[in-house]
Amino acid sequence: MGRLHFSWPSTVREEVRRHVMRAIERLDPSRYRQETAYVDALVGRLDGIAYRGPFGKVEFLGTILTDRGKSSAESAIGADFAITASLRDRRRSVEKGILVQAKRGHVSQLPREEQERLNRQIERMQQHTSAPKVLQVPMRRGQVPSFVSGRKVVRGIPYKEFPAGEYVTRYIMTCIEGDARPGFVRGISESTLTKLRVDAELAARQSKAH
């Protein structure tokens, strides 16, 4: 079975891009000193239907992970938030999700200790999905948050930065990126990620049994 790919008209891509940019432009990074506060606000604004019309529907569902205590989802999974994209065109539909860790500023400029912590967080995310992302949170108004490949960051190889609007329209809504496994999509639907952790534990036990 070939890779599922959605090809949207430019009018649809532009409407989704505007949905993302409206969410971003309403947020002044100087009002959110901690990246978690910025992420909470951004995910809340992204959540919703970005396009619905004659060509189908594009909807984003955001989940902010619990981040308090050693047993929190953030501590166990390594992510700050998850996004599920629900895509439907005239022929088919799919739901795909991504795990994301957010860092204020550029990843390449993180202090060594923070870089090592990020690497550990990415490695934990990779235990649940093959292509986790890092969101670079802007420092000043007018800057746009961008996504980079967590897999490349942790391996220490060159990576590209994709502004949020471009990443969503170029990779997520086309279905190039995102994890479509039903268990994974169900697992990231609630903030404690209990279902995702249970699925991972079951998979580990089955692997040991074999």
Consecutive sets of 10 residues in the chain, 210 residues long: mean pLDDT of each? 79 96 89 84 93 96 73 78 93 93 94 96 93 93 93 95 95 92 87 52 41
Terminal CA-CA length for the chain: 27
The confidence score (pLDDT) of residue 92 equals 92
Distance of CA 34 to the CA centre of its chain: 18
Tally Cβ neighbours within 10 Å of residue 192. Answer: 15
The confidence score (pLDDT) of residue 36 equals 84
Q: What is the DSSP letter of 30?
A: G
